[in-house]
Amino acid sequence: MSLYEKDSKDVINFLKAESRVSCNNLVERHQNAVFRTCYSIIGNEEIAEEIAQDVFLKAFKKLHKLDNPRLFRSWILSIAYRTAIDQQRKKKYYFDSIGEKFDLDDGSRSVSDKLSDTERKEAIVKSIKELGKPDSSIFILFYLEEQTTEEIAKALGLSKSNVKIKLMRGREKLKKKLKHIIKLY
């Protein structure tokens, strides 16, 4: 059964009987994508988790408005993207101190060599965040959540070619910033 079919089945079951199993399935299947979309905009794990929770609440409340239950994923991702942007505008969340600690802009090999795994992870996360919106969300959805450019376009309300351009641009920027880490890999 494809992801679309599973989603469709769970959406219908939830609407019919508010089934706990279907609710769990939907949250489990999409929690990473929703959380990561929020995190790519907010940059703080705790707040991103709160927003992701809010996104699921909104989505289940408006579930009867979803025209095609197979498209649950792109629908909830569009809610996640809009909600995170709204929250960011309202509260002005900024990425925390990672910025000053690991500046890989000079591309110096010695700097990236000395970083521990955690620091390297933080530096990568910071570089992705620096792509800005919506490029960082596009990057995360494409590479880590295995969404196609068409699915991302639907979720973020952009054209497919625009998503592709932004993805290529983000990829190039990251390649430059992380060149020594990529080499180590």
170-174 long-range contacts (CB < 8 A, ≥24 apart) are 170/131, 170/135, 170/136, 170/138, 170/139, 171/139, 173/127, 173/130, 173/131, 174/127, 174/128, 174/131, 174/139
Binding residue (CB under 8 A) for another protein from 5, 12, 108, 109:
12
Stretch 58-97 residues interacting with another protein (CB under 8 A):
60-61, 64-65, 68-69
CB of 15 to another protein, least distance (A): 6
Nearest-angstrom CA–CA distance, 44 and 39? 6
Stretch 131-150 residues interacting with another protein (CB under 8 A):
139-140, 143-144, 148-149
- In this complex, which beta carbon is closest to another protein, that of residue 53 or of residue 162? 53
- In this complex, which beta carbon is closest to another protein, that of residue 23 or of residue 85? 23
104-110 long-range contacts (CB < 8 A, ≥24 apart) are 104/177, 104/178, 104/180, 104/181, 105/177, 107/176, 107/177, 107/179, 107/180, 108/180, 109/180
Binding mask of the shown chain, residues 99 to 118, with x at each position contacting another protein by CB under 8 A: --------------------
- In this complex, which beta carbon is closest to another protein, that of residue 114 or of residue 121? 121
Q: Where are the alpha helices (DSSP H) in the chain?
A: 3-17, 20-42, 45-61, 72-91, 98-101, 109-114, 117-129, 135-143, 149-156, 160-177, 179-184
Binding mask of the shown chain, residues 25 to 54, with x at each position contacting another protein by CB under 8 A: --xx--xx--xx--x-----x--xx--xx-
Q: Which residues bind another protein (CB under 8 A)?
A: 8, 12, 15-16, 18, 20, 23-24, 27-28, 31-32, 35-36, 39, 45, 48-49, 52-53, 56-57, 60-61, 64-65, 68-69, 121, 124-125, 128, 139-140, 143-144, 148-149, 164, 168, 171, 174-175, 181-182, 185
